[in-house]
Amino acid sequence: MAREQFQTLTEPMYYILLALTRECCGVDIMERVRQISGGRIKVGPGTLYAMLSKFEENNVIKKTTETGRRKSYIITETGIQMLKDEYERLKAMIRDGEDNIDF
Amino acid sequence: MAREQFQTLTEPMYYILLALTRECCGVDIMERVRQISGGRIKVGPGTLYAMLSKFEENNVIKKTTETGRRKSYIITETGIQMLKDEYERLKAMIRDGEDNIDF
DNA sequence: TTGACAATATCGAGTGTCGATATTATGATG
DNA sequence: CATCATAATATCGACACTCGATATTGTCAA
C-alpha cells in the first residue's frame, strides 16, 4: 500500500514533499514552499496539516522530533520515490504537450 | 472572467484540451487522450462531460457541429492560452524539483 | 415500428483545497 | 507562580474534480 494512493501528486503535495527533503515543522514548510517556488505557491494550513497526517499514515514522511507542540518531519525513501515518479509524470505531460501544440 | 477559474489544470483537463486542438466529439476525445498520452491516461465519461460543459461555459472550448446526438468541439484562443500557462507551470515545477532533489 | 447501438448525461462517493477559526503548549513578565 | 501573549497545530464547512456505473436519448437498419 502507500503507493496505491497518491499516484499523481497535486501541486501542493509536490511542494510539501520537496520542502521535506530537509527536516521541517509545519510552519517551516509553509515558508520553505514559498521559497522553493520563488513565491509562486502558498499552501494554507488546512491543506498542509491534512496532508501531513495523511502522508505520515502512509509512510511518505516520518516524524523526527516533537518538542512541545512543534512537530518536525522529513521525507522517507517512499516519499522520494513518489517525487521521482511525479517528476517523470510532469516530463511526460510536457512531452505530450509539445507533440501537439506549438508552445 | 474565464481566467479566474482553471489557474491550474488537472491532468485530465490538460489532456482534454490537448485533444481539442483538433475538432472532436466526446468519444473521440476519450480515444485521442489515450493516443496522445501513449496509453497512460484514460478519462472517464463522468469527468469528460462535466468538463466539456464547464469549459464551454467559460469559452475555453466552443461547439462546432451538432449532428444528431453527437456534439463536436474545438479549443478557443482562451483555451490555447490556458494550455500555454499550464505548460509554463509544469516547467516551473520541474525546475523547482531539480533544484531541490537529484532526480 | 422496433430494437440495437452509439453518444451524451447524471449520480453519489471519495478526495483534495482553502481560509477562518479554534485549540493548546511555551516562555516571558509581573 | 499566575497569567497572558504568542507560536504552532488542528478542525471545520464549503467548494471543485474524478470516477465508474448507470440512465437517457437519438439514429439507423431490418
Residue B38 above 50 pLDDT?
yes
Mean pLDDT, each 10-residue run in order, chain A (103 residues): 77 98 95 96 95 95 92 96 97 97 92
Question: Does B99 lie at the interface with A, CB-CB under 8 angstroms?
Answer: yes
| Residue B73 cell numbers, joined | 468541439
pTM over cut 0.85: yes
- Which residue in B has a C-alpha nearest to residue A75's C-alpha? B101
Report CB contact under 8 Å: B100, A8.
no
* Chain A residue numbers touching B103 (CB-CB < 8 A): 83-84, 87
Cα four-point dihedral sign B19, B24, B26, B30: negative
